[in-house]
Structure 1
């Protein structure tokens, strides 16, 4: 199922909260868009929905920023693959390990190559300014709980 809707940064808290509340262990959310599109803003709203009280730093330099209880109610790893140059670097990150009891929020998923998860929720922010569009590729595992109908 595909969902498209107008999107502004003001919508990020509401949309991120709805998606964040629907997260379950084993979920992967792929966040695509140009630099400055609002991927990190959307991820922060998802983390806030799971109980994160403070500001979530961008994982651009750390690459993987993990969050665990009691900081959040579901373990979540916020991942930024912008600096990843090859699939061999992904193995060192151990991303699958986060899915045993938690979820992954992955920015720049195009860097995953063949490593991508077929059942991931794929969100793409396109456009800029007030004319952005959020497109969601909603896999079967998400259809019953997709909050943005």
Structure 2
């Protein structure tokens, strides 16, 4: 794959790809593609499950710079979360190298149809005791990742 990549759909995305998230203070955070084509992604050709790294830099992220940096937030995103923030996918680093595991979450459906999730993948129906015990998966607007980065990572 040639980088940088400006995605027009999810067809060229793969788990582990990352992009720069410009912050209001002039620094950069880093977004990461985590899962594609799962049950909780409403528009498979344009949506993906991604995360925000616990990383900030003065320059755009590199595979070496984000190594072993955990994730601090997760959500279902549209490819415009990449193209309207950092503009392009910068590269790829295998998620297993960073020991990144998908977060346990519950679906946003609520009630008897609530699913226990591994990231955005259905595991099984959630038990009543699990309702409220795990975070609810969210769908993020195009610039929401920048808002989270500014709020959680600004110095």
TM-score by length of 2: 0.28
When normalised by structure 1's length, the TM-score is 0.28
| Greater share of helix | 1
Q: Which has the higher contact order (CA 8 A, sep 6+)?
A: 1
Find the structure with the greater CA-based Rg.
2
